[in-house]
């Protein structure tokens, strides 16, 4: 089956620093990738939709200058949390969509970010 | 925008019994997919079952089945012969151009 690799699985950083999270589709091409954020005991909230070769589309309330998304190839999307603050601590999950309108999403295993 | 509502924050069921998790959604689209995902404590998202909106027949995957009522915009999940390993968070999801999730239902299977 299709595999999405997300790295790192957990990261601790100091307030004010930046953190990059990678999402790779290992055995398929993903024209579209999605980034979600999940706070403890809550649901997955869509942050942004990333299309290969174009700018990401951010959901209302998500700061695009803070959460930089790059989708430079059909197998890699990155999310960079810039100038991280403790309130950015959360679980971030990426998902990748295979080519085709009604293809399923495949999820990475998530990244737990802790900002101290 | 599409919204997904799961009105049961927590549910419990005895092992080997049947439980139904509720989900409703709101959309003006005619073509879409609906999903149920399971999220165990590892937080990995595991696809349980999916339903194409254009199909009237309810999807079934072994012990898991859905009751899809398109006119009512309802998509419930039935788990038969519940097992201890079914204990997890269950999220209902709607997909058109992107995927949106309900708030989740925490299911506990009791021995």
Task: Average the pLDDT over B61-87 and give the result.
Answer: 97
Residues of A in contact with B104 (CB under 8 A): 42-43
How high is the mean pLDDT of chain B? 96
Select the more confidently predicted residue: B38 or A105. Answer: B38
Q: How confident is residue B93, by pLDDT bands cut at 50, 70 and 90? A: very high
CA distance B18 to chain A (A): 24
**The pLDDT of residue B107:** 98
Residues of B in contact with A44 (CB under 8 A): 45, 91, 101
Task: Average the pLDDT over A80-86 and give the result.
Answer: 97
Q: Among A39-43, A81-85, B100-104, where is mean pLDDT lowest?
A: A39-43
Query: Cβ distance B78 to B11 under 8 Å?
Result: no
Give the pair of three-digit tokens for residue B66.
Answer: 């859905």
Q: In what order do the strands lie in the sheet with A76-81?
A: A4-7, A19-25, A76-81, A67-73
Chain A interface includes B52 (CB < 8 A)? yes
**The pLDDT of residue A13:** 96
**The pLDDT of residue A54:** 86
Q: Which chain B residue lies closest to A57 (C-alpha atoms)?
A: B98
A32-50: burial string, b at 16+ Cβ within 10 Å, e else: bbbbbbbeeeebbbbbbbb
**The pLDDT of residue A103:** 74
**The pLDDT of residue B65:** 98
Chain B interface includes A5 (CB < 8 A)? no
Residue B76, SS3 per DSSP: strand
Chain A interface includes B95 (CB < 8 A)? yes
Residue B85, SS3 per DSSP: helix
Chain B interface includes A34 (CB < 8 A)? yes
Task: Please check the confidence at residue A100 and state whether its pLDDT lies above 90.
Answer: no
CA angle A96/B3/A107 to nearest 5° reads: 20
Query: Cβ distance B82 to B109 under 8 Å?
Result: yes
CA distance B102 to chain A (A): 7
Task: Please check the confidence at residue B1 and state whether its pLDDT lies above 80.
Answer: no
Q: Which chain B residue lies closest to A49 (C-alpha atoms)?
A: B98
Task: Please check the confidence at residue B7 and state whether its pLDDT lies above 80.
Answer: yes
Alpha carbons A105 and A66: distance in angstroms, whole number: 25
**The pLDDT of residue A99:** 76
B58-79: burial string, b at 16+ Cβ within 10 Å, e else: ebeeeebbbbbeeeebbbbbbb
Q: Which chain B residue lies closest to A40 (C-alpha atoms)?
A: B43
**The pLDDT of residue A101:** 64
């Amino acid at each position: 089956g299709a595999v999405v690799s997300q790295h790192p699985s957990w990261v601790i950083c100091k307030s004010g620093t930046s953190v990059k999270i990678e999402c790779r589709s290992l055995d398929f091409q993903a024209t579209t990738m999605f980034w979600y954020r999940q706070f403890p005991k809550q649901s997955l909230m869509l942050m942004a939709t990333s299309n290969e070769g174009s700018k990401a589309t951010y959901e209302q309330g998500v700061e695009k200058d803070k959460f930089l998304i790059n989708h430079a190839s059909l197998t890699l999307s990155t999310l960079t949390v810039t100038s991280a603050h403790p309130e950015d601590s959360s679980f971030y999950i990426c998902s990748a969509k295979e080519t085709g309108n009604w293809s399923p999403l495949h999820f990475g295993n998530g990244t737990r970010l802790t900002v101290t | 925008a599409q919204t997904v509502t799961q009105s049961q924050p927590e549910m419990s069921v005895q092992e080997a019994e049947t439980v139904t998790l509720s989900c409703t959604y709101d959309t003006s689209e005619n073509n879409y997919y609906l999903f149920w995902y399971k999220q165990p404590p590892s937080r990995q998202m595991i696809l349980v079952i999916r339903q194409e909106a254009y199909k009237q027949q309810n999807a079934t995957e072994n012990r898991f089945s859905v009751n899809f009522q398109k006119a009512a915009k309802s998509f419930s999940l039935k788990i038969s012969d519940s097992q201890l390993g079914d204990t997890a968070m269950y999220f209902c999801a709607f997909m058109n151009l992107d995927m949106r999730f309900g708030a989740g239902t925490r299911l506990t299977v009791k021995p």
